[in-house]
């Protein structure tokens, strides 16, 4: 009898994806294991971007940076091919989405540096484990994300404002939600704002700039976390010649458990 996809280990899933047999979003797969965002840049932009992530770790938590030209990782996955192990990639040219592909092998160059960036999937599973409902998961939609007026620290070519994700949390559970996520700085850490969207330049919670709106019930407070869309946003603003990213929701499944992203 065939085992169901949910029972596959991270490395088994990466093999399946590498062989082109799975090309869909990775949400719900390999429960408990960290999934990662991807940005691949030519080396001539890599220093400014690495410095940008160093100066803005909350929205841009770097899990691992590859060696230039390498399709391997050392920390987050052993048996891995960065050019094939994401179910779907996006190719951007001059800041414009050019195509979506399931392999970037034919685009690979010796000067490409891959940045793996932490994703709020990891802290959402910890919130649920702590007994806190995550509305976008309950409603089976993408988390609502908003542009803000919170300026980021500039680094070389890169600058811009923070993008945040919003989750409505019952007032009595807000402190617990802060504590759970504050302990996971490699996946955005603590919230940046609680309860006052207008203070960070958000006018209407039902009209997110990215993702889907979610219901906010009586007695719930909107809580805002730094969001991994920020680095992609900042990169696209300078319209670089060539960038590869993962397609939204089509993440890398790593060998590292979410729980190991907590403070050591």
Q: Applying CB under 8 A, what is the total number of residues that bind its own copies?
A: 21
Q: Is 238 in the site for its own copies (CB under 8 A)?
A: no
- 33-42 and 62-65 beta bridge pairing: unpaired
Closest by alpha carbon to 165, among 139, 184, 188?
Answer: 188
Q: Is 24 in the site for its own copies (CB under 8 A)?
A: no
- CA 182, CA 176: separation in Å to the nearest integer? 10
- Which of 116/252 has CB closer to its own copies? 116
Asked whether the beta carbons of 179 and 123 are under 8 A apart, the reply is no
Q: Is 234 in the site for its own copies (CB under 8 A)?
A: no
Residues in the chain: 264
Beta carbon of residue 50, minimum distance to its own copies (angstroms, whole number)? 5
Beta carbon of residue 101, minimum distance to its own copies (angstroms, whole number)? 27
Residues numbered 36 to 75 that lie near its own copies (CB under 8 A) are 43, 46-47, 50-51, 54-55, 62, 65, 67-68, 74
Q: Is 109 in the site for its own copies (CB under 8 A)?
A: no
Stretch binding its own copies (CB under 8 A), from 5-13, 28-36, 151-159, 196-204: 151-159
CA 73 to chain CA centroid, Å, is 18
- Which of 15/157 has CB closer to its own copies? 157
Rg over alpha carbons for the chain, rounded to the nearest Å, is 18
Asked whether the beta carbons of 212 and 142 are under 8 A apart, the reply is yes
Token readout for 260 is 């190991």
Asked whether the beta carbons of 87 and 22 are under 8 A apart, the reply is yes
Q: Is 190 in the site for its own copies (CB under 8 A)?
A: yes
Stretch binding its own copies (CB under 8 A), from 17-25, 150-158, 208-216, 230-238: 150-158
Residues numbered 68 to 107 that lie near its own copies (CB under 8 A) are 68, 74
Asked whether the beta carbons of 35 and 251 are under 8 A apart, the reply is yes
Main-chain dihedrals φ then ψ at residue 256, nearest 5 degrees: -100, 130
Q: Is 260 in the site for its own copies (CB under 8 A)?
A: no
- Interface ranges with its own copies (CB under 8 A): 43, 46-47, 50-51, 54-55, 62, 65, 67-68, 74, 153, 155-156, 182, 185, 189-190, 263-264
């Amino acid at each position: 009898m065939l085992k169901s996809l949910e029972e596959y280990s991270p490395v088994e899933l990466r093999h399946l994806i590498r062989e082109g047999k799975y090309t869909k979003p990775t949400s719900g797969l390999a429960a408990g294991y960290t999934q990662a965002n991807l940005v691949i840049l030519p080396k001539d932009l890599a220093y400014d971007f690495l410095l940008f992530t160093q100066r803005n770790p909350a929205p841009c938590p770097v899990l691992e940076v590859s060696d230039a030209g390498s399709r391997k990782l050392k920390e987050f996955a052993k048996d891995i091919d960065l050019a094939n192990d994401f179910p779907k990639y996006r190719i951007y040219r001059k800041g414009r989405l050019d195509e979506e592909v399931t392999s970037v092998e034919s685009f690979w160059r010796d000067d490409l540096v891959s940045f793996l960036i932490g994703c709020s999937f990891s802290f959402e599973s910890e919130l649920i484990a702590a007994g806190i409902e995550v509305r976008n998961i309950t409603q089976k939609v993408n988390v609502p994300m908003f542009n803000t007026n919170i300026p980021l620290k500039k680094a070389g070519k890169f600058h811009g404002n923070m993008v945040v994700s919003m989750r409505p949390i019952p007032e009595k559970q807000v402190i617990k939600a802060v504590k759970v996520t504050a302990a996971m700085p490699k996946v955005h850490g603590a919230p940046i704002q609680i309860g006052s969207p207008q203070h960070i330049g958000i006018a209407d919670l039902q009209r997110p700039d990215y993702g889907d709106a979610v219901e906010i019930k009586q007695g719930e407070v909107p809580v805002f976390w730094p969001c991994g869309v920020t680095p992609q946003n900042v990169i696209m603003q300078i319209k670089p010649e060539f960038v590869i990213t993962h397609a939204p929701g089509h993440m890398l499944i790593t060998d590292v458990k979410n729980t190991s992203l907590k403070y050591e």
